[in-house]
A and B are shown apart, each in its own frame.
Chain A
Amino acid sequence: MISDVTGNASENNQRGFYTRWRQLMGARNWAELDVP
């Protein structure tokens, strides 16, 4: 996702980072993860 943040600070990217962190920490192996 690309957000225009010209003049609008955002933490979209940090939330994306922790989304993946949560996915990997919760999965027992790669097979349990969706690889887009």
Chain B
Amino acid sequence: MGDVTGGRLGSLVDVEHGIVSREIFVSDEIYRQELERIFARAWLFLGHESQIPHLGDYVVSSMGEESVILCRDRAGQIHVFLNSCRHRGMKVCRYDEGNTLEFTCPYHGWSYGTDGALVGVPFARDAYGGELERARWGLIEVPRLESYKGTIWATWDPAAPAFFDYLGGYRLYLDLLLDAWDGREGGTEVIGGTHKWLMPCNWKFPAENFSGDRYHGVSHRSVDMVGLGPSGKGRRDTQERTESRWLDVSFPDLGHSMIAFLRPHDAPIAPAYQDAPAVAEYFRQCEEERRRRRGAEWRLFGGPGTVFPNASPLARQPRTLAVWHPRGPHQTEAWRWYLVDADAPTEVKDFLRQYYIRYSGPSGLTEQDDMENWNYAHAASRGTIARQYPYNYEMGLGRATRASRTTGSRCQE
């Protein structure tokens, strides 16, 4: 597919002047180009190893609009396959998750092993004269897959940069989500299932919101007043943000970004979860250990962010990873994974699970208001008149106070 914008990309997205056209949110043609030039090329988040711990475990995930199967084969190797039979394209797996010896297409019965090999063809001898070349007709597998601290990423493009080159210096910030609360490398797992819901808005609304929109506090005012945080004060108990320096971390040549926080050198451990003493003590011990392990780096904390194009970590509580799947220019399917320290006591995990349910997604309170914004902003931008007028992204343009640069490995002051 050629460039449907006819060379107008510079005027549609004029970041130098803080102007972005509404067309890129509502145009069918631009959306189709996004599927080809972004979602078929980029590294995309698919799921977590802790979701498929046993041989034969699988979850169905998504890359762009396309359904894929993430599974652990009988030898323990992780694969990602297009969820489409090679015979007539039927979904070979219509469940969200499970454990299996093979995937059998419900249409004509072709069946595939968990390694993707075509292992069964009904009436093969009579129908194909025994000449069907099965080795050619296995499930279509992604050419590139990477597992990083339990998270699984893949791309359809064999020419894409290596995963760690794709992440670049952002790896430090992704680690703020994936490392254990006490500063150990890795050590997190998914708790509960994957939260999924549909929103009538373009996928870029949530992706850019998580990338660094700290301007919408008014949207959450009612939630702050309700006090859904564990101790009934505001949205969260972890109050270390209040005394921190607030940082916008952006890698414009990679597209990744995060809101981060830098605490003072002499900041005390911020008390949290006081109404649940065992939980409070767990996090207090973790914070102490984190300072010991990380040295000066203990001061850096992550917030919401986006790994381009559509994976959004939220590195502090509620600790989650969201993906904004495109489902047409006017619809997004949000998937949310919730993370805890794998070796945390059961009491701590249960406490966090309840908090996460109150906070996030359609069952929570905080993102109900976000979704209202995204949904109505999208609807109000689709019209013949409305789409002629661009959005404004001038805030802070040319007035950034540069705190530091990253070397690609560490935040420096």
Contacts and interface: CB of A to CB of B under 8 A. Distances in A.
Interface of A: 1-27, 29-31, 34-36
A6 to B, nearest CB: 5
B396 A4 contact: no
Interface of B: 3, 5, 9-10, 12-13, 15, 18, 20, 24, 30, 33-34, 37-38, 41-42, 157, 159-161, 165-166, 168, 204, 207-208, 211-215, 244-260, 306, 308-309, 393-397, 399-406, 411
Contact of A2 (B306, B399, B411): B411
A5 B5 CA distance: 34
B161 to A, nearest CB: 5
Given A16-B211, A21-B255, A24-B41, A11 B18 contact: yes
A36 B249 contact: no
Contacts of A7: 246
A20 B167 CA distance: 13
Contacts of A16: 211, 250-252, 255-257
B43 to A, nearest CB: 11
Given A21-B38, A25-B34, 19 more contacts: A1-B250, A8-B396, A8-B399, A9-B395, A10-B395, A12-B257, A12-B400, A14-B393, A15-B252, A16-B251, A17-B208, A17-B255, A19-B255, A20-B252, A21-B204, A24-B41, A24-B42, A25-B37, A34-B253
A8 to B, nearest CB: 7
